[in-house]
Amino acid sequence: MQSGETAILLAHCENKDGIFYDIIDFLFKNNGNIVRLDQHVDPDSQHFFIRAEWYVEGFSIPKDKIKDFFTTLVGQKYTLNWQLNYSSTKPRVALFVSKYSHCFYDILSRYDTGKWDIEIPLIISNHDKFAPVAEKFNVPFYHIPITKENKKEQEAKELKLLQEYKIDLIILARYMQILSGDFILHYPNKIINIHHSSLPAFPGSNPYKSAYVRGVKFMGATAHYVTEDLDAGPIITQNVIPISHRESIAEMKRKGTDIEKIVLSEAIWAHINHKVLTYKNKTVVFN
Amino acid sequence: MQSGETAILLAHCENKDGIFYDIIDFLFKNNGNIVRLDQHVDPDSQHFFIRAEWYVEGFSIPKDKIKDFFTTLVGQKYTLNWQLNYSSTKPRVALFVSKYSHCFYDILSRYDTGKWDIEIPLIISNHDKFAPVAEKFNVPFYHIPITKENKKEQEAKELKLLQEYKIDLIILARYMQILSGDFILHYPNKIINIHHSSLPAFPGSNPYKSAYVRGVKFMGATAHYVTEDLDAGPIITQNVIPISHRESIAEMKRKGTDIEKIVLSEAIWAHINHKVLTYKNKTVVFN
Amino acid sequence: MQSGETAILLAHCENKDGIFYDIIDFLFKNNGNIVRLDQHVDPDSQHFFIRAEWYVEGFSIPKDKIKDFFTTLVGQKYTLNWQLNYSSTKPRVALFVSKYSHCFYDILSRYDTGKWDIEIPLIISNHDKFAPVAEKFNVPFYHIPITKENKKEQEAKELKLLQEYKIDLIILARYMQILSGDFILHYPNKIINIHHSSLPAFPGSNPYKSAYVRGVKFMGATAHYVTEDLDAGPIITQNVIPISHRESIAEMKRKGTDIEKIVLSEAIWAHINHKVLTYKNKTVVFN
Amino acid sequence: MQSGETAILLAHCENKDGIFYDIIDFLFKNNGNIVRLDQHVDPDSQHFFIRAEWYVEGFSIPKDKIKDFFTTLVGQKYTLNWQLNYSSTKPRVALFVSKYSHCFYDILSRYDTGKWDIEIPLIISNHDKFAPVAEKFNVPFYHIPITKENKKEQEAKELKLLQEYKIDLIILARYMQILSGDFILHYPNKIINIHHSSLPAFPGSNPYKSAYVRGVKFMGATAHYVTEDLDAGPIITQNVIPISHRESIAEMKRKGTDIEKIVLSEAIWAHINHKVLTYKNKTVVFN
C-alpha cells in the first residue's frame, strides 16, 4: 500500500446534478489513489457534502496546481464551498485555559506523546496557575488576565500573539471567559469550546447544578465551534452518561471531567484531520 | 426462600437523626422478612428517601394494622411523606392514545402476555383509529374527540370514566393533547407522559425536527409525570442514542419510536412496582 | 423531489482501480437520480463495498434490462458479488417462534401497523402457545413440534412450506431450536437469529445466568445471520446496557427482552431495506 | 454539615437474620453520623454486602477501639468478611507500565493535580521509555526489564521494592507482562489491570484485531483485579462504544485508548475510596 503525503478536499454545496460526478471524475481521471472518500447528501435540505483524501504522489496534477485545476474544472461550475489541505501541514493550535486541569492535561498528554500531528506554540490563560504545567510540557505560557475594563486591549494582545504564532485553531479547554464577537470573527469555525452539558440542555454557567435541579437521568458534554451566540455554535461532538439520584453535584462534576476531556479531544481530532464540514450552524463529521 | 404477598413502603422526609433507624427498627423488631431495602440520602439537599419491601406473612403486625402502627411508631414522629402498597393490589391503568401506534402496541403486548401485573380496564382516544386494535386486545375503547370548544366537557367525561373504573395511573402513550391543569390536579404524580426528546432539550412540538435543525449528536426520549408546566414534570426515565448527519428527520422519527416505547415502559414498570419517589419536581427511582 | 420505485444495488469485491468509478459512471451517464449512495473501502482488507439506490423512472436503462447492462458494463469486469433489488418487491418473511413473546409481538406490531413493507405469510412454531396470537394478527400458524427423532422430517416439512410461500427471509424470534446445517444451506444469509448476549461473549444457552456468574458490568443482545457454527454467524446489529450488582438474573432477563426485540427489529429493518452486505463472516451495514 | 475524617466499613457475608440490623445498631447506638450507607442483598445468591461511612468525630467509640468493638459486637457473631478503613490514610499506589502512554499520563495527571488522595511513591517498568515522564511528574522510576530467564528474580526485586514502599495497590497501566501466580498471591484483590476488550469477549493479546475479525458492533475495555487466570479476575468497571465497518483496526486502537484510560481510572477511584467488595470472583461496586 502507498503511504506519504495526502491531499484532503472538504467541499459542500447545494446538491446539483453532476457535482459528485465531476469531483469523482477529477480524482479518477487524474490517477488519484484514494485513501478515503466520504460523501453525504442531506435528504431534508438537499445539501451535498464531500471529503476526499488521496495521495499527492502519483496524482497527475502537481501539488502546487491542484487548487487551480480544481477551481477551473469543478469549483467555479458550482457555488461550491471548499478547502484543500495537505497532511504534511501541521495545524498550529493555541490552547486557552483557566483553572480546570482535566482538558488541559489531556491535550498536553496527547501532544507530548505525538498522538496528534500538530504544533502547540503557545498557551494563553487568564490565570497563572498552570504556568508550571506549561513549563513541564515545554510550551510557552502567556498570562493575560481579563477584567471587564481591560477586555478589549487584552483580546487585542491575544490576537496579536495568535497572528505572530500563525495559529490555525484555538482550543478553549474550559477557558472561563466569554470571547467578544469581534475576537470570534477573526477565527470563524476555528475556535473549539467544550461545554459541560449535553447542549442545547443547560447552556450558560453551572450546568451540573442545573442538571441536578432538573433531575435528568443523563448528563453529558458538548464540543462546538464558538459563535457569537453563547453555547449555540455548530456542535462537533457530544457524549452522555446515565446518572441517577445517586450522583451528587460533586460526583457529576467529577464524572463530567472525563466526558468533557474525551469529547473535546475527539472534536480536536476531527478538526485537525480535516473531517469537519460546517453548514447552517451544524456540522457534518466524516468519521 | 419465602414468596407471597409483600408490603412496600415508600417514604421520604428531611433527613433527621433516627428516621432511618426507626424504620429499620420497625421492620426488624417485628420480624419483617425483607425482600429488598433501598435507602438514599441526597448529600446536596439532605433529604432522606427509603423503599422497603417485606413479606406480609410472618410479620408480627397484621396486614390491616400496619398503617396504624407505622403512623404511630414512625410517621408522626417526623414530617414523613409515605405510602404503603401491597403487591397483591393490581394497579388499574388507563391508556390515553392518539394516532401513534408504537407505545400503544408495546404496552398492550406486555399487558396481553402478563408481563405486567396490572389491569387496563379502558383506553381513551381522541381518534377512533385504534378502536380495532383495542378490540383485538379486549380492552374497552372510548372515543372522546377533543376540540378547543368541547375540551372542558370532554375532560369531565374522561374524569367520570376514570373514577368509575377506579383508575390509579394514566398513561399518555403519545396522546397528542395537552391536559388541562384542572384535570392534572386529580392525578398528581399519577399521569405518565412520554416526550420524544431528551428533556430539557426540545420541549414542545416537533422535537425531532428541532434536533435536526440544532445538529445534535444525540437524541432521546423522556418519560415524566405530568404537571401543569408542559414537558417540565419530574423525569422518571430517559434514554438516548447517538446520531450523526446520516440520520434524516424521518430516520430520527423511526429510531425514536423504539426509544420512546422502551423509555415509557420502563417508567411504567418502575411506577407499578412502587419504585418511584417524587420530591421537588424530581424522582428517586430505586431500580 | 422525485418519489416512486427505486433500484438498490448491493455490491462488493476486492478493491480494484476503477471499480468505484465504473459504478458511478454507470449510474450518472444513464441519468440515475440517486436517492442514496454509500460506499466503503476497508483499509485493513482492501475490500470494496457499495450500496446505491436510485429511481427507476428517468433512468436511461429500462428496468428489465438493468441487470443485463450492469453485468456487461461492470459486473463481468471485476469478480463482483452483487445483487439488484427493487423497492417495489415486498420481502416475504417467515417467523419462527417458540415460547418467548417479546420479539414475536414486536415484529407483529410493526407488521400490523405497516411500519415494515413486507409480507409475513406464515409463522412456524415448535409449540402451539402462540396460535391464538397469530390468529389475532391474521397470520397462518403452523405448529411443527421438533424432537431429536423427527427433526429431519419436520425440517423437510418446514422447507416445503417455505418454498410454497416463496419465503425470502426467515426470522428466528427466540426460536429455541438449532437448525440443521442442511436447513441453513437453503437460506445463506437469509436467516436472522437473535441471541441474548453481546456476542462473542456468552454464546450458547443461558447467557444471562453466565453474565451474572461472570459479574460483567454490561449485558446485551446480538442479531446475526445463522451459519452452521452456533452463535458465530455474521453480526448485523448489537446493543448493550450497563448493569451492576443490583440486577438479579430475573431483572437481566426482563431488561434483556427489550434489548433483544429492538436489536432484532433493527437487523430486520436493515435486511429488508437491502442495507446489509456480508463478507468474510462479517457485515457492512449501510445505515 | 460535619466534615473531617471518616471511617469506612466494607463487609459481606451470607445473608443472615440480624446482620444488617446489628450493623445499623452498632452505628446508630454509638452516635455514628453517617455520610453514606449502601447495602445490598443478592437475591440469587442470598449474599449480603454493606458499605458504611461515618464521621470519626462524635462517634461514641474512640477511633482506636472501633475494630475491637466491631469484632466483638458484630464480626464474631457472623462469618463476616470485613475491613475498616479511614479516609485519612492515603493509599500507596505503585504504577506498572510498559510502552503505552495513555493510561500512564491519565493517572499521573490526576495524581499531579491532587484529584486522587493517594501517594504514588514509585513507577516500575520493563522498559526505560517513560523514565523522562516519571521525572517530569517527580515519581521515582525503576527500570526492571523482564525476560523468560530472569522473571523470577526480577519479580523478587519488584516485591522487595513494593514492600519497602509499603504499597497497598498495584496498577497495571497497560503493563505488557503477565505476573506470576506467586507474585499475585502477595496482593490479592490489590492489583488492578486494564484489558482492552469488553471481557469475557476477546481475552489475551490483540483484542482489537480479534474484534475487527469477528465483526462486532461494540468494542470496550475492562478493569479487573488480577488473578492467576489471565483476564478472568473480578471485573470492577467496563465501558463500551458502538463501532461499525467504518472503524479500521487503527481507529479502534485510537478510540480504545480513551475508553481504557477512563475505565481504569474509574476502577482506581472506586478502589481507593473503598467502594469495592469482592466475592466469588465478582465485585459489588457501591457508587
Please provide the DSSP assignment of chain B as one string.
---S-EEEEEEEEE--TTHHHHHHHHHHHTT--EEEEEEEEETTTTEEEEEEEEESTT-SS-GGGHHHHHHHHTGGGTT-EEEEEETTS--EEEEEE-S--HHHHHHHHHHHTT-S--EEEEEEESSSTTHHHHHHTT--EEE----TTTHHHHHHHHHHHHHHTT-SEEEEES--SPPPHHHHHTSTT-EEEEESS-TTSS-SS-HHHHHHHHT-SEEEEEEEE--SSTT-S-EEEEEEEE--TT--HHHHHHHHHHHHHHHHHHHHHHHHTT-EEEETTEEEE--
D103: Cα within 13 Å, side-chain hemisphere: 31
Chains touching chain C at 3 or more Cβ pairs under 8 angstroms? A, B, D
Contacts of D250 in chain A (CB under 8 A): none
- C191-195 and B141-143 beta bridge pairing: unpaired
In total, chain D counts a number of residues equal to 287
Q: What is the dihedral of CA D207, D208, D213, D214, to 10 degrees?
A: 70
* pLDDT at residue A192, rounded to an integer: 98
With beta carbons less than 8 A apart as the criterion, state whether A149 and A142 touch: no
The 3-class SS string of chain A reads CCCCCEEEEEEEEECCCCHHHHHHHHHHHCCCCEEEEEEEEECCCCEEEEEEEEECCCCCCCHHHHHHHHHHHCHHHCCCEEEEEECCCCCEEEEEECCCCHHHHHHHHHHHCCCCCCEEEEEEECCCCCHHHHHHCCCCEEECCCCCCCHHHHHHHHHHHHHHCCCCEEEEECCCCCCCHHHHHCCCCCEEEEECCCCCCCCCCCHHHHHHHHCCCEEEEEEEECCCCCCCCCEEEEEEEECCCCCCHHHHHHHHHHHHHHHHHHHHHHHHCCCEEEECCEEEECC
Contacts of A266 in chain D (CB under 8 A): 258
β partners of residue C143:
C125
pLDDT category at A249 given cuts 50, 70, 90 is very high
pLDDT category at A3 given cuts 50, 70, 90 is confident
Decide: helix, strand or coil at residue D231.
Answer: coil
In total, chain A counts a number of residues equal to 287
Overall average pLDDT of the A243-251 stretch: 97
β partners of residue A223:
A194, A237
Decide: helix, strand or coil at residue C211.
Answer: helix
CATH superfamily of A6-86: ACT domain (3.30.70.260)
Contacts of A43 in chain C (CB under 8 A): 35-36
pLDDT category at A220 given cuts 50, 70, 90 is very high
Whether C36 sits inside 8 A of A20 (CB atoms) is no
**DSSP 8-state symbol, C1:** -
Chain B residues contacting D, CB < 8 Å?
1, 18, 20-21, 24, 28, 34-37, 39, 41, 43, 46, 242
Q: Which residues of B246-285 are buried (b: 16+ CB within 10 A; e: fewer)?
A: ebbbebbbebbbbbbbbbbbbbbbbbbbbbbbbbebbbbb
* pLDDT at residue D2, rounded to an integer: 84
* pLDDT at residue C215, rounded to an integer: 98
With beta carbons less than 8 A apart as the criterion, state whether D187 and D159 touch: no
pLDDT category at D24 given cuts 50, 70, 90 is very high
Whether A39 sits inside 8 A of C41 (CB atoms) is no
Average pLDDT of the residues of chain D:
97
pLDDT higher than threshold 90 for residue D17: no
Those residues with Cβ within 8 angstroms of residue C229's Cβ, 6 or more apart along the chain or in another chain? none
The answer regarding whether domain D92-285 maps to CATH 3.40.50.170 reads: yes
pTM: 0.98
Common-topology check for domains C6-86 and C92-285 = no
C-alpha cell at A183: 475576537
* pLDDT at residue A2, rounded to an integer: 84
Chain D residues contacting B, CB < 8 Å?
1, 18, 20-21, 24, 28, 34-37, 39, 41, 43, 46, 242
AA letter at B239: N
Those residues with Cβ within 8 angstroms of residue B98's Cβ, 6 or more apart along the chain or in another chain? B125, B126, B127, B174, B175, B176, B177
Sheet with A119-125: list strands edge to edge. Answer: A141-143, A119-125, A92-97, A169-173, A191-195, A218-225, A235-242
User: In order along chain B (287 residues), what is the average pLDDT of each group of 10 residues?
Assistant: 92 94 95 95 96 97 97 94 97 98 98 97 98 97 97 98 98 96 98 98 97 98 97 98 97 98 98 98 96
* pLDDT at residue C140, rounded to an integer: 98
Pick among B21, B26, B287 to test the D interface (most D CBs inside 10 A): B21
Q: How many CB atoms lie within 10 A of CB C166?
A: 9
Whether B36 sits inside 8 A of D41 (CB atoms) is yes
Q: How many CB pairs under 8 A join B and C?
A: 33
D27 Cα to chain B: minimum distance (Å): 10
CA distances to A18, A58, A235, A236, B177 from A285, rounded to whole Å, are 23, 28, 10, 7, 38
| Residue B168 known to be catalytic | no
D177: Cα within 13 Å, side-chain hemisphere: 24
The sign of the torsion formed by the CA atoms of D206, D208, D212, D217 equals: positive
Contacts of A216 in chain B (CB under 8 A): 198-200, 235, 238
C238 Cα to chain A: minimum distance (Å): 19
* pLDDT at residue C17, rounded to an integer: 84
Whether C112 sits inside 8 A of B105 (CB atoms) is yes
* pLDDT at residue D10, rounded to an integer: 98
Contacts of A265 in chain D (CB under 8 A): 258
- D169-173 and B169-173 beta bridge pairing: unpaired
With beta carbons less than 8 A apart as the criterion, state whether A199 and A211 touch: no
Which candidate, D60, D66, D68, D1, places its Cα nearest to that of D35? Answer: D1
Determine whether B114 is exposed, middle or buried from the number of CB atoms within 10 Å of its CB (0-12, 13-18, 19+).
Answer: exposed
Closest residue of chain A to B44, computed from CA coordinates: A248
- Spans of all domains in chain B: 6-86, 92-285
CA distances to A116, A283, B166, B212, C241 from C219, rounded to whole Å, are 34, 33, 39, 30, 6
Pick among C106, C139, C241, C244 to test the B interface (most B CBs inside 10 A): C106
CA distances to C120, D166, D192, D263 from D272, rounded to whole Å, are 56, 15, 11, 14
Q: How many CB atoms lie within 10 A of CB A155?
A: 18
With beta carbons less than 8 A apart as the criterion, state whether D261 and D103 touch: yes
pLDDT higher than threshold 80 for residue D1: no
In this prediction, the answer to ipTM > 0.90 reads yes
With beta carbons less than 8 A apart as the criterion, state whether D282 and C249 touch: no
* pLDDT at residue D152, rounded to an integer: 97
C64, C168, C231, C258: which is the annotated catalytic residue? Answer: C231
C284 Cα to chain D: minimum distance (Å): 6
In total, chain B counts a number of residues equal to 287
* pLDDT at residue D163, rounded to an integer: 98
Spatial separation of the C-alpha atoms in residues D108 and A12, rounded to whole Å: 43
B112, B182, B231, B258: which is the annotated catalytic residue? Answer: B231
* pLDDT at residue C281, rounded to an integer: 98
pLDDT higher than threshold 90 for residue A1: no
The sign of the torsion formed by the CA atoms of A100, A104, A106, A112 equals: negative
pLDDT tens-digit profile of A123-160?
999 999 999 999 999 999 999 999 999 999 999 999 99
Cis ω before A145 (30° cut-off from 0): no
C131-136 CB contacts, 8 Å cutoff, 24+ apart: C133/B112, C133/C101, C133/C104, C133/C105, C133/C108, C136/B136
Q: What are the residue ranges in chain C where pLDDT is below 70?
A: none
